[in-house]
Structure 1
Amino acid sequence: MRRFAALFEILDRTSSTSAKRDAMAAYFADAPAQDAAWAVYVLGGGKLKRTASSTELRTALARETGYADWLIDDCYQHVGDLAETIALMLPREEQAHEDTPLHVWMEARLPSLGRLESPERIELLREWWRGLPREQVFLVNKLLTGSLRVGVSHRLVVQALAQWADLPTDLIAHRLSGTWKPGAEAFVALAGPERADEHAGERPYPFFLASPLEQDVASLGEVGDWLAEWKWDGIRAQLMRRDDHALIWSRGEERLDGRFPEIETAAADLPVGCVLDGEILAWTLDEAHPLPFAALQKRIGKLKPGAKLLADTPVRLMAYDLLELGGDDLRERPLAERRTLLATLIEDRGPTLMLSPAVDAPDWEALAAVRVESRERRTEGLMLKRLDSPYRVGRKRGDWWKWKVDPYTIDAVLLYAQPGHGRRSGLFTDYTFGVWNGDALVPVAKAYSGLDDAEIGRLDRWIRAHTIDRFGPVRSVEATHVFELAFEAIQASGRHKAGVAVRFPRILRWRTDLAIRDADKLDDLRRLASG
């Protein structure tokens, strides 16, 4: 654990991507394989099972230190992270500490903690803390609460592994995809030579992600060199046809087996050894247009949807790429060729399997005019894909662009704030905003991105000085500041007090020129949701 704690400190102290990559590559080269495997898992975003509650951690800290609950709560409010609060409040003991390997913590100690009754769990936590240096107390607490974050993306972990193994990043990404399980053999296999059957299993291919188009579209060159498609708002997925079954993988590398049985049934007619890339969409019963994403969410949480849900919310796969056919990896072939093969493959297999239609236009100006129709068609804009492009790994700029329509915007008032996570755990960076409903402000959106560091620091100081109430880590603040928010979609929602829900809200700017009376009204949002 000492070696992993040192790596974590390096990752936490730098914002340099190359420094983080080099540090991880050095760790992978030096650490025992079983420890390195778990480092790959937790740094790459692997889901950790929580083995102790926040209440148990607070109780253990109070018993170990004798501090009053109010003092612990006050310190937590200032620090913003419970694991760090505990590490800071425990007495520092100058003694030699046992260095338990990371894999022992992950495979034995933490799982055993979860099997105990709460009183025993609290006492074992106290015993662990006494035997650990401060930096390891922090790490162990983060691991047992399932909330380890250090500003490292899955993609950066892949790049570090590729640097360590001297292998292509797309090969490493594919080997890590799907249900990769940490272990010494699995880690060593990451660096092994490429096999002929590398892509023949049930792992999904790494997804190719588009970048937002921020420059003038005409800078892309001739419009005839590009394929334009609608940008669908659904679940990005790969549909795989293997020997006697079909698999559906989400972009988050989650198996969706059983949740969309109509797609699996349709895939039974596909030839063995093919992989389609596309978007799962909920569709209207009259097959006129896609339904809002909220309708699709009803299906996501159902491992085995019932007959009524299947009938009321039919889905389809809007296919737009072919990654494998007859067991052959097609990703290096040009998109134009892959699309021709895809069109032939799913011809007359609709409506459950559909080819994403091309949006044709003689020039960029005409295509821009068509793009204006996006919301009317229940899409988010256009996708632009270079016809001679291969299917790449991750977000490689240049070949695939998402040309989204301008977002909706509202002016809303800051109502609540709470601390962020990771490097921002000591700052109030997660905000709740409201609009007017008559003479009252009602919450309509939460956002945490869009402000620069200077604005975050200034707002953090103001929040601390103008708190009017506290609800755990959340602070209610004086209604003073107005912010312009952007969001992609809005819909009626019975689950929200305001009756509407917005999709992907973020902060555009701090409207210091507006008073709170100038903020938008809930009726304005309701009209957007109904229109």
Structure 2
Amino acid sequence: MRRFAALYTALDGSSGSNARVQALVAYFSEVDAPDAAWALHVLLGKQGKRLITGRRLRQICLEGSPLPEWLFDDCYAQVGDSAETIALLWRQLAPEAAEAPGGSDVAAAPLHSWMEQLLPAAAALEGDAQADAVRHLWRGLSPAELLVANKLLTGGLRVGVGQGLVLRALAQFSGLEQALLQHRLMGGFTPSPFAYGALLAPADQAATVPSRPYPFFLASPLEQQPAGPASDWQAEWKFDGIRGQLIRRANEFYLWSRGEELIGAAFPELLDAARCLANGTVLDGEILVWPAGSDQPAPFAQLQRRLGRKAPGRKLLAECPATFVAYDLLELGGDDLRQRPLSQRRSALEELLQSLPQAASAPAAGLLRLSPRLHLTAWEQLEPLRQQAASAAAEGLMLKALASPYLAGRRRGHWWKHKRDPFTLDAVLLYAQAGSGRRANLFTDYTFGLWNAEGELVSFAKAYSGLNDGEITALDRWIRSHTSERFGPVRAVQPLQVFELAFEGLQRSSRHKSGIAVRFPRIARWRQDKPAAEADTLASALELLEQ
């Protein structure tokens, strides 16, 4: 545990990528496979479920110390996290705990013992027994070690390094290609010595896993006209669905989301459609709800009804029929096609889908669709084409270089997304709540309202992003001096400040007081030039919804 806590401290205290990579390489070089496997699991953000809540840790701390509850709460208000507050306070509150007999043995236990035995055993207890077990684990830990232990208990450890840095370190440590390691990690990683050994096995010795998807290739936002003539690029609609890979290997069928989750249970008809594919086939595409006979997909709200379902019923299957819109062919006959140019992959994809049975009774009829290529021969056609996205029920356009391979992650220059302009409405700030982490002392979570027909402000959307640091600080000062009521951590403010909100779409919702759910709201700008009385109305939002 101590070695992993030292790694966490080094990563958290370093702002340079090279220094972080070297810290990771040093750690993986020094620890045994069981600890390395668990460390990798945690570094990838997969540390597992919460074992104990932050509220319970707070209770255990207060019961074992003379600190009054109000003072702990004041400290928490400054720090913004129970696990970190306890880490900062515990040794001062119970200094004898640092030297408790036997404490050093627990603190020196390896990381895998903490993850597999010590933490689960303490969490499984109840009442006083659990409190004693947790406080025993705290004995002999430094504040940095105590922070890591508490974060592992609450399932909230965030190391501040992305998967890319971890892969760079593993590649440098193992001598393997980073892309190979990323592919081997797809589909999840089990924190075991066996899985860790398989991950770092020589390139020609890794076992084939039929279910494993490929790393997804991601597009970057288009900021300027792409290089080269328009004829060198392929244009498609950017639909608002769920990115997925449909796989048939070894007579088994798998549907993966971009979040590396198997979602076939929610879309059984797409797994059935995959039976028409030959073994060794992997399609990349978009999962959408597409009603029979319609020339465009349904809104995302319909697809949302299907997500997370382990066994959708007949009624839901009929009301929200799913479709897989394929736009790339990654594997055919067991051959990896990713390094071939898109032009070749697209031709093979078209040939494959055209060869499937087209009869209405065929398993794949209407379920496997080819993403349509849009007519683009000159850059002057690009903007008019983007303006047509809404009429096609699309978010915008995708531009892909015909010469591009299928890479991993976000690689600029090959694929671009050119979304249509967001919708906007001017709304009034109603409520504010403090953030977390480094923004725990600032009000950064906001609720906005629109005017209804009776001249009242009704909550419409929440937004957490869009302001710069200077604006956040200024708004925080304003909120503190214009608070009208308090509801726990939430402050109601005088309805004076107007903000322009940008969002991707609206849908009707009985769960929201306004009757409208907002998709991806964020702050576009602070309208200090506009009085609250001139903010938009719910009627304006309903007009947008109808559009």
Shorter chain as denominator, the TM-score bin is over 0.9
1:105 aligns with 2:119: no
- State the match for 2:308 in structure 1: 301
Q: Are residues 1:495 and 2:504 paired? A: no
CA distance in 2, matches of 1:403, 1:31: 46
For 1:105-504, what aligned pairs fall within 5 Å after superposition? 105-195=114-204, 201-215=210-224, 217=225, 219-347=226-354, 348=358, 349-437=364-452, 438-504=454-520
Distance 1:199 1:211 in 2: 31
- Note if contact 1:150-1:422 (Cα within 8 Å) is conserved in structure 2: no
Q: Distance in 2 between matches of 1:19 and 1:480?
A: 47
Uncovered stretches (5+) of structure 2, i.e. residues with no partner: 359-363
Q: Per-residue deviation at 1:281?
A: 0.2
Deviation at 1:472, TM superposition (A): 4.2
Decide whether the 8 Å contact of 2:287 with 2:323 is kept in 1.
Answer: yes
* Residues 82-97 of structure 1 mapped to structure 2, 5 A cutoff: 82-92=82-92, 93=95, 95=99, 97=104
CA displacement at 1:364 relative to structure 2:
1.5
Moved more, 70-79 or 262-271: 70-79
8 Å CA contact retained: 1:247, 1:255: yes
**Contact persistence 2:248–2:278 (CA under 8 A):** yes
Maintained 8 Å contact 1:151/1:422: no
The SS at the match of 1:280 is strand
Q: Structure 2: which amino acid aligns with 1:102?
A: L
1:278 aligned partner, one-letter code:
G
Displacement of 1:371 in angstroms is 1.4
Counterpart-to-counterpart distance in 2, 1:467 and 1:162 = 53
Q: Give the Å deviation of 1:119.
A: 3.8
SS in 1 for 2:457: strand
SS at match of 1:299: coil
1:461 CA drift (Å): 4.0
In the TM superposition, what whole-angstrom CA distance separates every residue of 1:251-279 from its partner, at most 9, and x where no partner exists? 00001132101111110111001100000
Secondary structure, aligned partner of 1:300: coil
Task: Tell me, in whole angstroms, the C-alpha distance in 2 between the residues paired with 1:392 and 1:343.
Answer: 21
CA distance in 2, matches of 1:431, 1:168: 44
Structure 1 residues 161, 442: closer, same or farther in 2, change over 3 A?
farther
1:168 maps to a residue whose letter is E
Contact 2:424-2:502 within 8 A present in 1 as well? yes
Letter of the structure 2 residue corresponding to residue 387 of structure 1? L
Maintained 8 Å contact 1:52/1:121 = no
Shift of 1:489: 1.4
CA-to-aligned-CA distance 1:501-529 (integer Å, 9 cap, x gap): 11112222222323322322222112111
Q: Is the Cα contact below 8 Å between 2:77 and 2:440 reproduced in 1? A: no
Structure 2 residue matching 1:139: 3-state secondary structure: helix
User: In the alignment, is the contact (CA less than 8 A) between 1:210 and 1:396 conserved in 2?
Assistant: yes
**TM-score, with structure 2 as normaliser:** 0.91
Instruction: State the secondary structure of the residue aligned to 2:421.
Output: coil
For 2:481 and 2:33, how far apart are their aligned partners in 1?
A: 49
| Aligned CA distance change for structure 1 residues 410 and 160 (closer, same or farther; 3 Å) | farther
> Shift of residue 167 of structure 1?
2.2
| Pairing partner for 2:536 from 515, 520, 527 | 520
Q: What is the rounded CA distance, in whole Å, between the counterparts of 2:292 and 2:203 in structure 1?
A: 47
Identify if the C-alpha distance between structure 1 residues 421 and 173 changes in structure 2 by more than 3 Å, giving closer, same or farther.
Answer: farther
Question: How far has the Cα of 1:394 moved from its partner?
Answer: 0.3
- Tell me which amino acid in the other structure corresponds to 1:394: G
CA distance in structure 2 between the aligned counterparts of 1:270 and 1:48, rounded to whole angstroms: 35
Within 2, Cα distance between the matches of 1:339 and 1:199?
A: 26
Q: Which digits, 9 at most, give the CA deviation of each residue in 1:7-63, with x for residues without a partner?
A: 222322334334333332332222332222222212212152111123322211211
Q: Which shifted more, 282-291 or 461-470?
A: 461-470
Partner SS for 1:403 = strand
Q: 2:251, 2:49 → 1: CA distance?
A: 33
Under a length normalisation based on structure 1, what TM-score does the superposition of the two structures give? Answer: 0.94
Which structure 2 residues correspond to residues 29-44 of structure 1 after superposition, within 5 A? 29-44=29-44
CA distance in 1, matches of 2:231, 2:208: 33
| 2:341 partner letter | P
Farther-moved stretch of structure 1 (287-296 vs 119-128):
119-128
Distance verdict in 2 for CA 1:197–1:224, change over 3 Å: farther
Deviation string 1:105-136 (CA, Å, 9 cap, x unpaired) is 21112222332224432332222223322112
Structure having the higher Rg: 2
Q: Cα 1:391–1:455, aligned 2, differ >3 Å: closer, same or farther?
A: same
SS of the equivalent of 1:323 reads strand
The CA deviation string for residues 271-321 of structure 1, in whole angstroms up to 9 with x for no partner, is 001100000001124333211111111111211100100011000000000
**Do the aligned residues in 2 keep the contact of 1:77 with 1:473 (CA within 8 Å)?**
no
Task: Return the letter of the residue paired with 2:401.
Answer: R
Rounded to whole Å, the distance in 1 between the matches of 2:31 and 2:481 is 46
| Runs of 4+ in structure 1 over 6 Å off | none
For 2:4 and 2:247, locate their aligned partners in 1 and report how far apart those are by CA, in whole Å: 37
Aligned sequence identity (%):
52
Give the number of aligned pairs. 529
Q: Distance in 2 between matches of 1:367 and 1:91?
A: 63
Give distance in 2, aligned partners of 1:305 and 1:212.
35
In 2, are the aligned partners of 1:414 and 1:433 still within 8 Å (CA)? Answer: yes
Residue segments in structure 1 that go unaligned for 5+ positions in a row: none
Q: Residues 2, 203 of structure 1: CA spacing in aligned structure 2 closer, same or farther, 3 A cutoff?
A: same
CA distance in 2 between counterparts of 1:118 and 1:257 reads 41
